[in-house]
A and B are shown apart, each in its own frame.
Chain A
């Protein structure tokens, strides 16, 4: 079975500051890990995914995430926040690629001008 814990349902950062959204996972098999973003009134959009290749995964819009097996973490980062990054972010885990994703409860990111 897989599960995901996102620490912090709300995160606020200043424009230009580092964005760090935390995700810890539990999986009985080598996991596939995902970060999705949801802008208001839009569907979820894939930011990046980890599929057992490089542990540092680069995604769209300047985001990246690092898979750390020893810490069972897959935190999402962006060096410099932009106002357009304000959205809800979901971490997800799967043992079957894109099938049967288990999502975290989401983190709402607010950017302070």
Chain B
């Protein structure tokens, strides 16, 4: 299993500012993922972050808006840049743990972001 600590748990930010969300895992993991859950919608994958390489972004998400760092196997950050009210969402990090049939995704409890 994996215990994921995500900070902050919630924040209220002003338009035009940036927020960096931290994700700390209690074990070394290769693959980390960042998801967004907009109000009333499903989770959407933003990017995959592997240590030692550039993050891979999904369609509709770009590095300038959502820069990601992955300095080691237990930590990652997602920055929401130049925020607008449309960025108000829950942001979740997740990690893949295990091998083969026992592979599982574990999720952090999320960061609830409100942009005014």
Question: Contact at A97–B106, with CB atoms within 8 Å?
Answer: no
Among residues 50 to 107 in chain A, which have CB atoms less than 8 Å away from a CB atom of chain B? 51, 53, 90, 92, 97-106
Question: Contact at B41–A51, with CB atoms within 8 Å?
Answer: no
Question: Contact at B105–A46, with CB atoms within 8 Å?
Answer: yes
Question: Contact at A44–B45, with CB atoms within 8 Å?
Answer: no
Among listed B64-72, B78-86, B96-104, interface-contacting one:
B96-104
A41-B109 in contact given A100-B45, A105-B40, A105-B42 (Cβ < 8 Å): yes
In the assembled complex, the Cα of A36 lies from the Cα of B94 at a distance in Å of 13
- Using CB atoms, name the residue of chain B closest to A53: B101
Q: Chain B: interface residue count, which band?
A: 20 to 34
Question: Contact at A43–B108, with CB atoms within 8 Å?
Answer: yes
A51-B101 in contact given A43-B92, A101-B45 (Cβ < 8 Å): yes
User: Which of A4, A98, A100 gathers the greatest number of chain B CB atoms within 10 Å?
Assistant: A98
In the assembled complex, the Cα of A53 lies from the Cα of B101 at a distance in Å of 10
Question: Contact at B43–A90, with CB atoms within 8 Å?
Answer: yes
Please indicate the chain A residues that have their CB under 8 angstroms from the CB of B41 in the complex: 105
A98-B108 in contact given A51-B101, A90-B43, A105-B42 (Cβ < 8 Å): no
In the assembled complex, the Cα of A44 lies from the Cα of B95 at a distance in Å of 11
Q: Chain A: interface residue count, which band?
A: 20 to 34
In the assembled complex, the Cα of A10 lies from the Cα of B79 at a distance in Å of 33
Shortest CB distance B57–A (Å): 12
Q: Does B34 contact A (CB under 8 A)?
A: no
Q: Does B74 contact A (CB under 8 A)?
A: no
| Residues of B near any A CB (own CB < 8 A) | 4, 6, 31, 33, 40-45, 48, 58, 92, 94, 96, 101, 103-110
Can you show 23 pairs from A to B with CB atoms below 8 A apart?
A4-B42, A36-B107, A43-B94, A43-B108, A43-B109, A43-B110, A44-B94, A44-B105, A46-B104, A46-B105, A46-B106, A49-B104, A90-B43, A92-B43, A98-B103, A98-B105, A99-B31, A99-B33, A100-B45, A100-B58, A103-B43, A105-B41, A105-B42
Give 10 A-B pairs besides A43-B94, A100-B58, A101-B43 with Cβ atoms closer than 8 angstroms: A42-B109, A43-B6, A43-B110, A45-B107, A53-B101, A97-B103, A98-B105, A99-B31, A100-B45, A106-B42
